[in-house]
Amino acid sequence: MNFLRHFSAGIALVLAPVLSWAQSVEPKNTVITSDGPAEMISTDKETTITFRDHVVATGTNMRLSCDFLEVVVVRGGDPGATVGKMEKFKSMVATGNVLIMQGDREAACGRAEVLPGEEKVVLSENPVVVDHDQNTRAAGELITMLRGQHKLTIVKPKLTAPPVKDLGVDKETKPTAPPTATPPAEAPKQP
């Protein structure tokens, strides 16, 4: 029972920074489920937790689903303990059919890497980000989101956005004919 309490508390600690990347809303507990086994392996400095087969993580304004999820946290406390104290979230990597939904936004890709220490999320393997509220879709080879800088970079981008107003000639105004040139007057002939 003690193991499960530490495990659940650790998961909530691990994913809380990821969830805070979303809009500011009431925090909710993070719940991760999978059809396959979960495994936790610790070293003196880190704990790695993996989930397999139809993984679903839900929490504050976020739902993530994938085939495989690896969560790495910095470990503290007694290095000899089987389950160390989970102190700081280091990274999260989701692979295989990744779908992340936050409010009106969703991202789909083959691999998503979350690095909270760098305030960075990297989407690869055919990433697509759709903002339903803004009616936009961004795709490319690699999409990197930098939270602290409010910056998004896309390698080989393809952006789809709402239509732009016709900037061409006003269709109701008929073009005027160009002025006709008058031939130059002939010089008088001299006798």
**Nearest Cα to Cα of residue 25 among 62, 60, 64, 59:** 60
All domains of the chain in start order, with CATH:
2-160 (2.60.450.10)
pLDDT over 70 at 41, yes or no: yes
- Identify which of 10-24, 131-145, 155-169 has the greatest average pLDDT: 131-145
**Nearest Cα to Cα of residue 91 among 17, 9, 12:** 17
**Nearest Cα to Cα of residue 155 among 132, 122, 116:** 122
- CA dist list (Å): 67 to 55, 56, 79, 126: 6, 9, 31, 16
Least confident of 17-21, 47-51, 84-88: 17-21
pLDDT over 70 at 18, yes or no: no
pLDDT over 60 at 54, yes or no: yes
Question: Can you tell me whether residue 2 is helix, strand or coil?
Answer: helix
**Nearest Cα to Cα of residue 63 among 24, 8, 22:** 22
pLDDT tens string 121-131: 999 999 999 99
What's the chain's average pLDDT?
79
Percent of the chain with pLDDT over 70: 69
Q: How confident is the model at residue 5 (pLDDT cuts 50, 70, 90)?
A: very low
25 CB neighbour count, 10 Å cutoff: 12
